């Protein structure tokens, strides 16, 4: 019975139109997703967006109300968690407190009837560089060490998909950075598909090849970190990943590969490829670091006033008020070109059309902004 | 700024402050003395060279400790109590743990009725429990004896076991069981390798509690024992004419044995947490 | 330690429903529940049935037939009104005394004991390891006429030569207080221990003095423990007869003593049953009212 109970074929993980209802509440709403074999994939979203529910459905800890889940050709939708070749690194790790580290890591191997577990366990512990702690109990380990053991305990089973549920949430900032790099390294070494659930956009962008941004049970946008950051397609994505300035504007013309838009008497250009809507009412978006305190460019706003300034080390962040009383955020690198402006100073803003994007104007400008970062 | 001598508070003032700060500790100390006076008294009189009366101090002797079975029937009563205690503990722990798992780990209809049925025996005075069982045994023409005591003890211990074990199950992180399932353990293996070991301290505690409740029970036992004697019953019967010092020896020995078990249990659990 | 858990009394459903076949919980419940039905519910019904029986004219002692004579209840109550009321008064007094002794004790263990906390907890339970009866008998000797306390008190000029401590209501209530003290202390400790000391500091920070903090923060937060402790003391105390038998006199008899003697000495089963039933019903009503009043329904 050793390996029978585990499906063996490898392949992409495919979620096909899955939904999960709790009474009237739709935790996951008609979600479809393909995670390529061997990729590092992140499900990113604020708390309550359905990302953990999605993860639990992949793990088999919840059953979808509708839809199917496949790994390769195998339908695992209703398969018991212990029959699917998927392992999870739980939030707060869920290490068995009554077992030694060695036995924790050996747990899955033993359940699958593997007799000689020592080699595999030692290898897994070596991978996370904690071989010397094998005989300790979880209670004696630091948070970071427990985290690595949780990873070792999962990957020792060579799952087809490894699920990580907010794995770094309990660690302090410095350790989190270190573990991000560590996890990335481990993923490269073992080549297993990693699905990483997190609410931390920075964590997702650092680690994942592909990020799916989730909101209210649906995927808002999926792509590489650069895609999502530079060319968001919804206000939620624009605001949730980093900071963003969004200006309500009207499209005047779409011609010659560019859209010309106006806002409060100012005219701006956006490359048509970066406009994600057919609607004439749009939100013009530009990231704070793309704004320059100058007035030479095609897209510029004159007669602005600095209303706030804060120094954050690598850059200085300004709040600048436009003539029509909209506050925009501007980051300026702290290098030679520094303007060193103060509150009340008059400035102009300008930016390149290629750094501009156009979103559907029917959305809430503040969607995804100011969401609580902590779970 | 000039330095000024800080006036030393007077001695009585300091004493007052010490008392007011430690008032609660003094109070607690007195409460502990109150709790232990009869225990100390029982222990002291286990060394009494009693002769005919153990009511007043007659002189020190170790004879009672050397021969605790010296008084007639005391040891047979203790043996009965131990046998009843062990049987009742085993049965009540098994039955109660099963109920606790049903309540703590499963969804089913009739949960609140079950909870009520567990709560009621704890809210019923012992005299009513004892009297009602006896009324039933008499109605059924069953004469009370050893087994009716065991039946009664299992009955009143079950509720305490359920409550203790259920609390332990409730404090268990459900993610541990999910992790086991995620790591290829099926329901039975999850229970055997994760749930049961983690609930075990609760079960052990419940068993200890059941044993001490059974061993020390008098009221229910007295109703349902017929002519069978137990240790508390022996004490009750002999209290009229003075308890033999051998009973004090047994009571004191029980005290120390239980104390050692509890302390060892605490030390072991602390060591486990450490290593 | 069940007392602790009784106080915490979480009766909420399972957090994680492991999916199981629907009959599994019933299989787990069956043996224990059948035991409780057979040896708790059935006897209570049997007791109810006995309570309305009558001894036929000229029948042997201990032989009764069912005649649904509810007058038994009135007769039993009227004949034993005094003991009945006394039981509840003594139990209430003992409960209040136990609360007064146990609250500071539990508070000290929860907040002021530092690393000695576990040792002190063991010490609270430890007296229980000596037989209940042995300790009660020990009190008769400690409080006895030749005992150390009475002999010392008699040295005082204003103390009467005929002064006694045993065979008095004082002795019975003290015995009840003493015997059920751990039942009061442990639930109190359990609920006090769960209070975050920072809430007490916050109260101080918000201009409450120590007394106000205690009244407005500590007491309300420890209420579940107070309710559990008072119930665990009051219920057994109201039905107890050992303390009254060993430490009291004929004028301090409680309802438990009456039930016991009706059963064994007088062999008047119907009266004993009627009294038991009334006692149980009264306690259940009082407990229900008390829990409603203190709004701690979730405790059960």
CB contact under 8 A, C122 and B266: yes
- Asked if pLDDT for residue B1 goes beyond 50, the answer is no
CB contact under 8 A, A94 and B179: yes
How far does B269 lie from chain A, in Å, by closest CA? 11
State yes or no: ipTM above 0.90: no
CB contact under 8 A, B187 and C20: yes
pLDDT for A338 equals 74
Same domain, A284 and A340: yes
Span B171-200, average pLDDT = 92
CB contact under 8 A, B180 and A96: yes
User: Which residue in B168, B171, B181, B182 has the most chain A C-beta atoms within 10 A of its own C-beta, making it the best mutation to test that interface?
Assistant: B182
**Residue B117: its chain C contacts at CB < 8 A?**
33, 36-37, 40-41
Q: Which residue of B has its CA nearest to C287?
A: B123
Adjacent-strand bridge partners of A253: A260
Q: How far is residue B177's CA from residue A61's CA, in Å, rounded to a whole number?
A: 11
Range with the poorest average pLDDT among B11-25, B170-184, B247-261, C128-142: B11-25
Low-confidence stretches of chain C (pLDDT < 70) are 1-21, 295-300
Which of C50, C112, C125 is the closest to B135 by Cβ? Answer: C50
Output DSSP code: residue C57.
T
CATH for A17: 3.40.50.300
Same domain, A354 and A211: no
Among residues A230, A261, A290, which one ends one of the domains? A230
Among residues A171, A200, A230, which one ends one of the domains? A230
**Residue B94: its chain C contacts at CB < 8 A?**
31
pLDDT in tens, B58-115: 778 887 888 878 777 888 999 999 999 999 999 999 999 999 999 988 888 888 899 9
The pLDDT confidence band at residue B17, using thresholds 50, 70 and 90, is confident
Report which of C17, C63, C275 is spatially closest to residue B181, judged by C-alpha positions: C17
Subunits in contact with chain C (3 or more CB pairs closer than 8 Å): B
pLDDT for C14 equals 42
CB contact under 8 A, C18 and B115: no
Q: Which residues of A touch B (CB under 8 A)?
A: 5-6, 59-61, 80-83, 86-88, 90-92, 94-98, 107-108, 111-112, 136-137, 139-140, 153-154, 157
Look at residue A316 and tell me if it is in a domain.
yes
Q: Which residue of A has its CA nearest to B183?
A: A108
- Structural domain including A61 reads 13-230
- Asked if pLDDT for residue A125 goes beyond 60, the answer is yes
Among residues A197, A230, A263, which one ends one of the domains? A230
pLDDT for B3 equals 53
Mean pLDDT of chain B: 87
Angle B148-B149-B155 from CA coordinates, rounded to 5°: 90
Span A180-189, average pLDDT = 88
Subunits in contact with chain B (3 or more CB pairs closer than 8 Å): A, C
Which of B125, B164, B259 is the closest to C239 by Cβ? Answer: B125
* Domain C81-299 classification at class level: mainly alpha
User: Which residue in B106, B207, B215 has the most chain C C-beta atoms within 10 A of its own C-beta, making it the best mutation to test that interface?
Assistant: B106
Q: Which residue of C has its CA nearest to B92?
A: C32
Mean pLDDT highest for which of A229-233, B246-250, C52-56?
A229-233
- Establish if C269 touches chain B: CB-CB under 8 angstroms: yes
Look at residue A235 and tell me if it is in a domain.
no
Residue spans per domain, chain C: 81-299
pLDDT for A122 equals 93
Residue spans per domain, chain B: 20-64, 73-243
Total count of domains within chain A: 2
**Residue B193: its chain A contacts at CB < 8 A?**
107, 111
Output DSSP code: residue A292.
B
Same domain, A135 and A18: yes
Same domain, A220 and A269: no
Same domain, A206 and A261: no
Same domain, A216 and A112: yes
Q: How far is residue C76's CA from residue C258's CA, in Å, rounded to a whole number?
A: 10
How far does B113 lie from chain C, in Å, by closest CA? 11
Tell me the CA distances in angstroms from A138 to B265, C92, C222, one per residue in order: 21, 49, 33
Look at residue A39 and tell me if it is in a domain.
yes
pLDDT for B7 equals 60
Range with the poorest average pLDDT among A211-215, A270-274, B156-160, B261-265: B261-265
Look at residue A4 and tell me if it is in a domain.
no
- What kind of fold does domain B73-243 have according to CATH? MetI-like fold (1.10.3720)
- Asked if pLDDT for residue A329 goes beyond 90, the answer is yes
Which of C15, C46, C238 is the closest to B136 by Cβ? Answer: C46
Report which of residues A178 and C163 the model is more confident about.
A178
Same domain, A199 and A269: no
CB contact under 8 A, C130 and B206: no
- Asked if pLDDT for residue A208 goes beyond 70, the answer is yes
Q: How far is residue A320's CA from residue C171's CA, in Å, rounded to a whole number?
A: 83
Same domain, A226 and A269: no
Residue numbers of B between 120 and 179 with CB closer than 8 Å to C: 120-129, 131-136, 138-139, 151-152, 154-155, 158-160, 162-164, 166-167, 170, 174, 177-178
Which of C181, C239, C279 is the closest to B35 by Cβ? Answer: C181
How far does A109 lie from chain B, in Å, by closest CA? 8
CATH for A356: 2.40.50.140
Interface B–C counts its CB contacts (< 8 A) at 287
Q: Which residue stretches of C117-196 are H helix?
A: 117-125, 132-142, 148-154, 169-193
CB contact under 8 A, B182 and A153: no
- Asked if pLDDT for residue A14 goes beyond 70, the answer is yes
- Establish if B63 touches chain C: CB-CB under 8 angstroms: no
- Establish if C274 touches chain B: CB-CB under 8 angstroms: no
The pLDDT confidence band at residue A268, using thresholds 50, 70 and 90, is very high
Look at residue A18 and tell me if it is in a domain.
yes
pLDDT for A358 equals 92
pLDDT for A3 equals 39
- Establish if B220 touches chain C: CB-CB under 8 angstroms: no
Q: How far is residue B256's CA from residue B65's CA, in Å, rounded to a whole number?
A: 13
Report which of C96, C181, C87, C291 is spatially closest to residue B128, judged by C-alpha positions: C87
Same domain, A224 and A282: no
CB contact under 8 A, C135 and B96: no
Span A290-306, average pLDDT = 87
Task: Indicate the pTM of the whole model.
Answer: 0.81
Which of B178, B190, B197 is the closest to A61 by Cβ? Answer: B178
Same domain, A157 and A248: no
Looking at chain A, the whole-number percentage of residues with pLDDT higher than 70 is 96
């Amino acid at each position: 019975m050793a390996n029978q109970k585990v499906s063996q074929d490898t392949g992409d993980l495919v979620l096909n139109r899955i939904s999960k209802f709790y009474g009237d509440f739709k935790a996951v709403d008609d979600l479809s997703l393909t995670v390529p074999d061997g990729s590092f994939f992140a499900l990113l979203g604020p708390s309550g967006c359905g990302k953990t529910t999605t993860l639990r459905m992949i793990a088999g800890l919840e059953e979808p109300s509708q839809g199917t889940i496949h790994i390769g050709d195998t339908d695992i939708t209703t398969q018991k968690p212990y029959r699917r070749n998927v392992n999870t690194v739980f939030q707060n790790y869920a290490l068995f407190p009554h077992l030694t580290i060695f036995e924790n890591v050996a747990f899955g191997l033993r359940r699958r009837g593997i007799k000689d577990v020592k080699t595999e366990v030692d290898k897994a512990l070596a991978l996370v560089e904690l071989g010397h702690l094998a005989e300790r109990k979880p209670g004696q380990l630091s948070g970071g060490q427990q985290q690595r053991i949780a990873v070792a305990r999962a990957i020792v089973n060579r799952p087809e998909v490894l699920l990580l549920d907010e794995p770094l949430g309990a660690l302090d900032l410095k350790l989190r950075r270190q573990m991000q790099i560590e996890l990335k390294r481990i993923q490269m070494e073992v080549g297993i598909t990693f699905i990483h659930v997190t609410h931390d956009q920075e964590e997702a962008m650092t680690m994942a090849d592909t990020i799916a941004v989730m909101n209210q049970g649906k995927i808002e946008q999926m792509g590489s970190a650069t895609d999502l950051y530079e060319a968001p397609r919804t206000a939620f994505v624009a605001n949730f990943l980093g900071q963003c300035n969004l200006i309500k504007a009207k499209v005047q013309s779409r011609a010659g590969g560019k859209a010309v838009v106006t806002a409060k008497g100012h005219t701006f250009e956006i490359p048509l490829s970066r406009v994600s809507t057919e609607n004439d009412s749009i939100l013009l978006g530009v990231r704070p670091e793309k704004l320059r305190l100058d007035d030479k460019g095609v897209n510029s706003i004159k007669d602005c006033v600095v209303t706030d300034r804060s120094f954050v080390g690598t850059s200085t962040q300004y709040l600048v008020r436009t003539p029509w009383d909209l506050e925009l955020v501007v980051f300026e690198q702290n290098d030679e070109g520094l303007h060193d402006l103060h509150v009340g100073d008059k400035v102009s803003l300008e930016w390149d059309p290629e750094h501009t994007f156009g979103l559907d104007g029917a959305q809430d400008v503040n969607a995804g902004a100011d969401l609580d970062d902590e779970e | 700024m000039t330095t000024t001598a800080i006036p030393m508070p007077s001695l009585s003032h300091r004493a007052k402050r010490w008392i007011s700060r430690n008032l609660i500790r003094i109070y607690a100390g007195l409460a502990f003395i109150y709790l232990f006076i009869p225990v100390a008294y029982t222990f002291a009189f286990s060394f009494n060279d009693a002769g005919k009366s153990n009511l007043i101090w007659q002189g020190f002797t170790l004879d009672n400790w050397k021969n605790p079975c010296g008084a007639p029937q005391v040891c047979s009563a203790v043996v009965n109590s131990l046998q009843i205690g062990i049987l009742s503990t085993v049965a009540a722990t098994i039955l109660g743990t099963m109920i606790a798992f049903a309540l703590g780990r499963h969804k089913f209809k009739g949960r609140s009725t079950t909870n009520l049925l567990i709560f009621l025996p704890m809210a019923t005075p012992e005299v009513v429990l004892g009297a009602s069982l006896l009324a039933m045994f008499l109605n059924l023409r069953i004469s009370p004896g050893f087994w009716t005591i065991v039946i009664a003890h299992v009955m009143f211990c079950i509720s305490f076991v359920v409550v203790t074990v259920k609390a332990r199950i409730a404090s268990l992180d459900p993610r541990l069981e999910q992790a086991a399932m995620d790591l290829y353990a099926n329901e039975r293996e999850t229970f055997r390798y994760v749930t049961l070991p983690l609930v075990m301290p609760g079960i052990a505690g419940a068993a200890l509690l059941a044993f001490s409740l059974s061993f020390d029970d008098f009221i229910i036992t007295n109703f349902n024992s017929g002519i069978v004697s137990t240790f508390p019953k022996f004490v009750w019967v002999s209290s009229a004419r003075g308890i033999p010092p051998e009973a004090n020896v047994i009571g004191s020995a029980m005290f120390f044995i239980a104390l050692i078990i509890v302390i060892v249990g605490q030390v072991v659990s602390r060591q486990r947490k450490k290593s | 330690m069940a007392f602790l858990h009784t106080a915490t009394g979480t009766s909420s459903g399972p957090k994680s429903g492991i999916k199981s076949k629907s009959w599994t919980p019933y299989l787990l419940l069956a043996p224990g529940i059948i035991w409780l039905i057979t040896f708790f519910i059935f006897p209570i019904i049997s007791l109810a049935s006995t309570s309305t029986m009558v001894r036929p004219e000229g029948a042997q002692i201990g032989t009764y037939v069912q005649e649904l004579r509810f007058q038994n209840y009135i007769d039993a109550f009227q004949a034993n009104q005094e003991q009945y009321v006394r039981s509840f008064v003594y139990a209430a007094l003992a409960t209040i005394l136990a609360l007064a002794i146990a609250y500071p004790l539990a508070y000290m263990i929860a907040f002021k004991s530092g690393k000695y906390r576990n040792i002190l907890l063991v010490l609270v339970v430890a007296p229980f390891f000596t037989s209940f009866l042995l300790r009660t008998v020990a009190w008769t000797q400690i409080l006895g006429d030749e005992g150390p306390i009475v002999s010392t008190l008699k040295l005082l000029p204003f103390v009467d030569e005929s002064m006694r401590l045993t065979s008095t209501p004082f002795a019975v209530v003290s015995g009840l207080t003493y015997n059920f003290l751990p039942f009061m202390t442990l639930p109190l400790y359990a609920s006090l221990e769960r209070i975050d000391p920072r809430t007490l500091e916050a109260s101080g920070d918000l201009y409450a003095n120590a007394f106000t903090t205690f009244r407005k923060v500590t007491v309300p937060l420890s209420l579940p423990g107070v309710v559990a402790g008072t119930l665990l003391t009051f219920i057994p105390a109201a039905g107890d007869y050992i303390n009254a038998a060993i430490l009291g006199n004929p004028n301090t008899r409680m309802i438990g003593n009456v039930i016991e003697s009706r059963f064994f000495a007088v062999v008047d089963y119907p009266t004993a049953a009627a009294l038991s039933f009334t006692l149980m019903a009264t306690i259940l009503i009082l407990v229900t009212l008390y829990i409603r009043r203190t709004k701690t329904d979730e405790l059960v």
